[in-house]
A and B are shown apart, each in its own frame.
Chain A
Amino acid sequence: MTRVEHLRNLALLGACAVALAILPHALTVYLRSFVLFTMMYVVLALSWNIISGFTGYTSFGHVAFYGIGAYACAILVADYRWHWLPTLGVGAVLAAVVGVAIGYPVLRLKGPYFAIAMLGAAEGTRVVATVWDGLTHGGLGISLPSAETSLETYYAMLVLMLLTVVVAYGVGHSRFGVRLNAIREDEVAAEALGINATLYKLTAFTLSAVFPAVAGGIQAYKVLYIDPPSVFFVQITIAMALMSMLGGKGTVIGPIVGAILLYTAQELTWVNFPTAHLIAYGLFIVLVARFMPRGLMGFAIDRGWVRKGMVH
């Protein structure tokens, strides 16, 4: 990509940022929430993509980091009376630490074993949150005192999203990203070329852990009540994976497009068809995975509409 193209993309991002910054003042609270959650899923999908799309290690338990961030915020705000913003930092650091701790042993596993191990890790974190009563109130859940007007969390999420996009873009268009792709394509050959696969994998994994944690924290402060089943919900990981896959795993714009489209479609269907919507969702997942595993971006690249970057 040329310098001009990079600048153009940056300008585009800036324009979106400005538009999104003005938007909430024109919307009702409900729609504000809707945009907030859409942005959150963009963050989640992009983060998941870093480890699973670029690096090829399909994580089936990424919601663990989201939950960690949510609990960090909830515990510190509800029990220790912190202001919510610093708790996001704590959540991020915690997720990074846990990411390294889990990642180091687990990234040694291959393909399906890594996926199952991450699923086990996420479920295990949920059980720990349920059982460690003293810290997390267990099954009772945590209720947070309310102080915000819904604008604060919106802007926080906006900033987070912009940050994530910039980072994902940076990874996708840098040597770091190329090396991650090399690892995905053939790890042994990459090592033979001198790439320290362990270091790169771990970095990607940790990076992908931090943003969901912050998102989880913001969400906790928005929704004001969390309990283990809701923040360690396996369907959140599925959503991350599906959105990336729908948009195009391994690209930068793919997860963004996938997240926006899927979340909006879900919300529209849910509002209008409450019972059938879940069956439709299940079918949708099946169809996308079966017929469009390379996603919309893959489709567009095949048609020559978009130039191939580092797509799967």
Chain B
Amino acid sequence: MKTAAILAFAGALAALLGLGVGTGWAGHRPNNEVLVGGAISQTGQYAEPAGRQVYSIKLWVDEVNARGGLLGHTIVLRLLDDKSDIQTSIKLYEKLITEDKVDLLLAPYSSGITEAVANVNERYKMPFVAYGAASTPIWEKGRRYIFNIVAVAEDYQKGAVHLARQIGVKKAAIIGQDSLFPRQAGKGAKDWCKKLGIDVVLEENYPTKQTDFTALLQKIKAADAEAVFSNSYFADSAAQLRQMRELNLNFKLYSSTIGPSLPNFPEQLGATAEYVLGFSQWEPLPKVLGHPGMQEYIERYEKRFGEKPNYHAGGAYGALQVTEAALKKVGSFDNEKLRDALATMEVQTIYGRYKVDARGMNSHEGLTFQVLRGQRRVVWPEKWAETKAELPTPEWSKR
């Protein structure tokens, strides 16, 4: 036992040293570089939306370097993969900050992960602008080093609720996955229903991996709901729609938070996706939204990645524009000064206006769209609407 113990201990020590060498003890960068790092979901359930953000990040880094770098320093990008897992993300950020000693942090994706990471960067006093989190509770804890640019979860269903009101819906059901973002979206939907006089007859959460909604949908029908506000991602909203069709359940309106905004949604579901309402933080429609620099950004993005940027990409790019502007204003990478600049500046980006309140939250406005003939068309708010919403949804048998 003695030999074994000594061997194990020695092995562990050797490994420790190996780790140190393996991860590259930082602090010896050539002077003209700046290390920009973050962890984002490149695999796992968030890989699809986060992947679009990665595109924007890479585009931004290359553009900035072409212009002479950040404050004259060439950006070296270190983007790690958190596998869509909260615990992994926490570990990675700690490593990036304490081991790799990054100069500037990039945000992760998803409210859950951002909430967890916010504890880390707050502790080490390194600010960043979050583009992957839309849940208000993250900013209600008195944190000083995290800022947001996107519209909040509570407003995702705002347009859908307003449209429901317009077509005279009196009773609605709110369902969603049981995790941070969908629950906040549900809370917001409930508040909006209350404000607009719609009675919420059913409110229910389901486990994240749920695929069979037969009973839940029947329950909704039994409660006489006319509209369904579903705080769902791709798999669950797709399942709900298909099962609604299979069970011949007809609702006047169905709205989902994330699913419909993902590119494959209309393709994979075909006709079943028609008339579905979805929310988008931003669309690549320069003529409709008119933010400065949109056209050029869209063209460059499309040229490099073969598709138009969606709102995830747009948000990330906007946040990075803000960060760059703040750095320029401060003139150095000093964290405290950067934090103060981010807290007080007003910047116009391709994404929209950035100006945060005392909590660090922006007041970005998003848009509601409807899938019509396989295309997403903006239907709300009126100032940005491309066409009038085609509601109430015609029955399955009549399509």
A264 CB contacts on chain B under 8 angstroms: 11-12, 15-16, 19
User: Chain A residues with Cβ under 8 A from B91's Cβ?
Assistant: 33
The count of residues in chain A whose C-beta lies closer than 8 Å to any C-beta of chain B is 48
Knowing A271-B19, A274-B81, A275-B43, the reply to whether A140 touches B122 (Cβ < 8 A) is no
Using Cβ atoms and an 8 Å threshold, which residues of chain B touch A267?
A: 19
**B residues 1-42 in Cβ contact with A at 8 Å:** 1-5, 8-9, 11-12, 15-16, 18-20, 22-23
- B12, B80, B178: which contacts A139 (Cβ < 8 A)? B178
- Chain B residues with CB under 8 A of A16: 5, 9
Stretch at the interface among B111-119, B155-163, B333-341: B111-119
Q: Kindly state whether residue A110 has any CB partner on chain B within 8 Å.
A: no
> A271-312 toward B: CB 8 Å interface, digit per residue (1/0)?
110110000000000000000000011001000011001000
Determine, out of A179-187, A200-208, A209-217, A254-262, the stretch whose residues face the partner at the interface: A254-262
Residues of A within 8 A of B205 (CB): 138-139
Interface mask (A240-270 → B, CB under 8 Å = 1, otherwise 0): 0000000000001100110011001101100
Task: Given A30-B94, A271-B19, check contact A224 B119 (CB 8 Å).
Answer: yes
Query: Given the complex of chains A and B, what is the CA–CA distance between A305 and B4 in angstroms?
Result: 9
A140–B112 alpha-carbon span in the complex (Å): 8
Chain A interface, DSSP helix/strand/loop, else mixed: helix
Query: Contacting A143 at CB < 8 Å: which of B9, B23, B115, B123?
Result: B115
Whether B3 and A306, one on each chain, are in contact in the complex, defined by CB atoms closer than 8 angstroms, is yes
- Determine if B2 and A12 form an interchain contact, defined as CB atoms under 8 angstroms apart: yes
Known A146-B123, A227-B86; contact A38-B12, beta-carbon cutoff 8 A: yes
- Say how far A262's CB is from chain B's closest CB, in angstroms: 11
CA distance A264 to B5 in the complex (A): 16
B116 cross-chain contacts in A, Cβ below 8 A = 141, 143, 223-225
CA distance A229 to B2 in the complex (A): 39
* Docked CA distance A267–B88 (Å): 11
Known: A29-B94, A225-B86, A225-B119. A271 touches B8 (CB 8 A): no
CA distance A253 to B4 in the complex (A): 8
A143-B141 contact in complex given A30-B94, A230-B86, A272-B22, C-beta closer than 8 Å:
yes
A176 within 8 A of B: no
A28 to B96 alpha-carbon distance, docked (Å): 12
Asked if B98 lies at the interface with its beta carbon under 8 angstroms from chain A, I say yes
CA distance A70 to B205 in the complex (A): 24
- Residues of A within 8 Å of B87, CB to CB, are 223, 230
Residues of A within 8 A of B20 (CB): 31
Give bound CA distance, A27 to B25, whole Å.
12
Cβ-based interface call for B62 (8 A): no
Q: For B89, give the chain A residue with the smallest CB separation.
A: A225
Within 8 A of A (CB), among B123-141: 123, 137, 141
Q: Residue A140 contacts which of B15, B98, B179 (CB distance < 8 angstroms)?
A: B179
| Cross-chain pairs A/B with CB under 8 angstroms, 11 sampled | A29-B98, A31-B19, A31-B20, A140-B179, A141-B112, A143-B115, A144-B119, A257-B5, A260-B8, A274-B81, A306-B1
* Interface of A toward B, CB cutoff 8 Å: 8-9, 12, 16, 27-31, 33-35, 38, 127, 130, 138-141, 143-144, 146, 223-225, 227, 229-230, 252-253, 256-257, 260-261, 264-265, 267-268, 271-272, 274-275, 296-297, 300, 305-306, 309
Other A-B contacts than A139-B179, A300-B4, 16 sampled, CB-CB below 8 A, are A29-B99, A31-B16, A138-B178, A224-B116, A225-B90, A227-B112, A227-B179, A253-B1, A253-B4, A256-B8, A271-B19, A274-B80, A275-B81, A305-B4, A306-B1, A306-B3
